[in-house]
Amino acid sequence: MTAHRLAPEELRAVCDAATFPFVSTAELPPLDGMIGQDRAVSATTFGVGMRQAGYNLFVLGPSRTGKTSAMKRVLARAAESEPVPPDYCYVHNFQYLDLFEAPDEETAARVVMIVRSYGHAQTETWTALPWERFESMISTVLVPA
């Protein structure tokens, strides 16, 4: 195959806009996935499925290629099947705070004992309750005036 010079009009592909069944790309549905990135999406899906601490996702590639949008879609899709994480509220200006979640009060008490064994001068522990349980408990404590 021999090389030959191209005329300027040969340097770009031209297509007839009338061949497309839409006037604007805004009419098209959003792209689901990334064109030509099946392995990347598959690896991300696998990474999101890891159920142990210490695993992270690292996404690398040229700017403005849709990495962030694609990863947000994969993460949003994975989040749909996960439980909603608990809400935490920090009140006041704490200098130090240990926050943990335990499956029951006995486990929470054990964690508190471990934390106190580190020699903290003062330890205060409060049990967090689901809002519905808190409301039912507070109604038995508060007496109407």
Question: Is the pLDDT at 137 greater than 90, yes or no?
Answer: no
Task: For 66-76, write each residue's pLDDT tens digit.
Answer: 888 888 888 88
The more confident residue out of 141 and 38 is 38
Structure confidence by residue, pLDDT tens digits, 90-121: 566 666 666 777 777 778 778 777 777 777 65
pLDDT digits (tens, 9 = 90+) for 39-63: 888 888 888 888 888 888 888 888 8
User: Please, are residues 76 and 44 in contact by the beta-carbon 8 Å criterion?
Assistant: no
Cα-based torsion angle of the residue sequence 16, 22, 23, 28 in order, rounded to the nearest 10 degrees: -120
**Spans of all domains in the chain:** 26-79, 83-140
Of the two residues 143 and 23, the one the predictor is more confident about is 23
* Nearest partner of 102 among 90, 116, 112, 94, judged by Cα: 112
Dihedral in degrees, nearest 10, Cα atoms 120, 124, 125, 128? -130
Q: CB count, 10 Å around CB of 3?
A: 5
Containing H/E element for 52? none
Q: How far is CA 57 from the centre of its chain?
A: 11
What are the tokens at 106?
């006995």
Report d(CA 52, CA 96) in Å as an integer.
Answer: 26
